[in-house]
Structure 1
Amino acid sequence: MALYQQLPFFNPSVPFTRLIQGGLQEGTSITVCGRVLSDADSSLYCRFQVDLKYGSDIALHFNPRYEGGSEYVMHNTLQRGRWGSEERKYETPFPRGQMFALQILVTLSSYQISTNGKPFSEYKHRMPFSWVDRIHVSGNMEVKLVAFQYLVSHQRQGSFTVPYKSIIHGGLQLGKVIIIQGFINPQANRVVISLRHKAGIAFVYNAGFDENLVLCNTYGDGKWGEEEQSEVMPFKKGQPLQIIVSRQRQTIENSETVVT
């Protein structure tokens, strides 16, 4: 299986369409992080969609809807100009006005879809996933991140012993991206990433499995700063992970994906 490393997209405008480098393969994972706009009401346009496309065909149409007081997610395929039979799930993990993380994992038989680190649905392939060459995101939402992960079977080249330390040559300049890929030990208590300098810690990301909580902070002048917490746990023990860290506009922004 070939490895294609496609850089993530941060804060793209909506609608968003991009080619998927190398196309979809078994083990490809796509993560979309965003927020449903809080002014969504019961009108026809209160919905958003993530489409995996080939030409005018849509292999996977993932479509959360907010209509007439009913919230549900519709899955479907568009082929040769005709929609197939709908598959609906009458619940939604996308509360209006709140952030979410959507992960789509490609397997030989289906798309396995997770939200906020938890399995949500499975959609069997109706057309070959290898045909898919684009992703399209649109609707009543804002997008913070679109990222791709490509798992390589039985490849251990470039692995490192944990805990791992390394110098970032030239520093973490604007636009530079750090991508960390690996597998979480089934007995792990936490995943910790820290960006350090001579006088302290610019950024620490601490995902604790026992607490099911993610903590972010900064350490300088002998004291910790104000802690930021997130109850969205994007990782699972014994599962692959990808962490992407990028500095933008004089701040360090972090986003993460996990294959479930």
Structure 2
Amino acid sequence: MAYNQQQTPFYNPIIPFTGSIHGGLQEGKSINISGRVLPGVDRFHVNLQCGSRTNADIAVHINPRYDSHPGYVVINSLQNGNWGPEERKQNSPFPAGSNFSLTVTLNVNGCHFMEYRHRIPFHQVDTISVGGKVEISSIAFQNPMAVPYHSVISGGLKPGRTITIQGTVNPRATRFSVNLSHPSGIALHYNPRFNENVVVRNTKQGDQWGAEERAGGMPFHQGKPFTLTICCEKQCFRIVANGIQQHIYKHRFPHFQHITTLEIAGDISLTSVMV
């Protein structure tokens, strides 16, 4: 698994909890909070804030509440001691007594559950705090990885081996590419193009490109997170995006063991690459 250097997670912190975010927030950074909502809960909160003092500005206040049925989630910001207008999301995904995993990804458009536009510059945020009737098992951090990205595939590919890439498409992305390469060319060139709304697949031998394959859907969206898995099988590459099989690409270069390089480039930020 190839990550850049990550902050050590906080495990089983005593609630209320306040901890530092090393390096502060940056575009593409993810914070994952795993835990359990206590039975009989009235509310709990997760704050991303500017410092650890009690009157610190809060850039994002995520506040599940249970004073009505079903529960709901309030999102807000605290600036200079004053709360801004609340944004509410009905049908809370945090039922009382249940386990949960909450991921906050910093990008222009927010995260899967809901989008929350920045009211406080995110580079001022350096602290996370959790309070209320909740147990936390871990708070983990993932920093974005540099693009273009280059990695060696140790031992080359073989049937059954998979590569999983997680990241976020830039808001104004034109295209990005994933190449599985060998010394004399590219076995798989996977190339989502947003200006054409198509994913191009191809193979390059020496300086010669083959015939493009363009059929199938476009599973990626500007400004949105994605998970891309490429599975090497005997006859083909099977390509899965966000948990749904999207493309099958029959092998044009059959010498899997010589496919030893992964290259990722273009208009995305990377969170993790697993080879």
TM-score, with structure 2 as normaliser? 0.55
Determine the C-alpha separation between the residues in 1 that align with 2:136 and 2:152: 32
1:165-176, aligned counterparts within 5 Å? none
Determine the C-alpha separation between the residues in 1 that align with 2:229 and 2:97: 34
Instruction: Tell me what 2:63 maps to.
Output: 63
Q: Which structure: greater strand fraction? A: 1
Determine the C-alpha separation between the residues in 1 that align with 2:105 and 2:149: 21
Determine the C-alpha separation between the residues in 2 that align with 1:162 and 1:62: 45
Q: Measure how far apart 1:157 and its partner are.
A: 5.1
Match of 1:48 among 33, 44, 47: 44
Instruction: Tell me what 2:92 maps to.
Output: 92
Instruction: Tell me what 1:198 maps to.
Output: none
Which amino acid letter does the alignment assign opposite residue 135 of structure 1? Answer: I
Instruction: Tell me what 1:38 maps to.
Output: 39
Partner deviation per Cα, 1:190-245 (whole Å, 9 max, x = no partner): xxxxxxxxxxxxxxxxxxx58xxxxxxxxxxxxxxxxxxxxxxxxxxxx85489xx
Which amino acid letter does the alignment assign opposite residue 138 of structure 1? Answer: G
Partner deviation per Cα, 1:94-117 (whole Å, 9 max, x = no partner): 11111111000001x34x23xxxx
Determine the C-alpha separation between the residues in 2 that align with 1:58 and 1:79: 7
Larger Rg: 2
Which amino acid letter does the alignment assign opposite residue 71 of structure 1? Answer: G
Q: What secondary structure does 1:130 align onto?
A: helix
Determine the C-alpha separation between the residues in 2 that align with 1:16 and 1:157: 38
1:11-22, aligned counterparts within 5 Å? 11-22=12-23
**Structure 2 unaligned spans of 5+:** 158-163, 167-226, 233-242, 245-269
Q: What secondary structure does 1:67 align onto?
A: coil
Determine the C-alpha separation between the residues in 2 that align with 1:89 and 1:61: 13
Q: Measure how far apart 1:122 and its partner are.
A: 0.5
1:1-260, aligned counterparts within 5 Å? 5-40=6-41, 46-55=42-51, 56-107=56-107, 109-110=108-109, 112-113=110-111, 119-156=112-149, 159-161=152-154, 182-183=165-166, 185-188=228-231, 240-241=271-272
Instruction: Tell me what 1:252 maps to.
Output: none
Number of residue pairs matched by the alignment: 169
Q: Measure how far apart 1:158 and its partner are.
A: 5.3
Determine the C-alpha separation between the residues in 2 that align with 1:66 and 1:72: 7
**Structure 1 unaligned spans of 5+:** 41-45, 114-118, 165-180, 190-208, 211-238, 244-260
Greater alpha carbon shift after TM alignment, 146-155 vs 85-94:
146-155
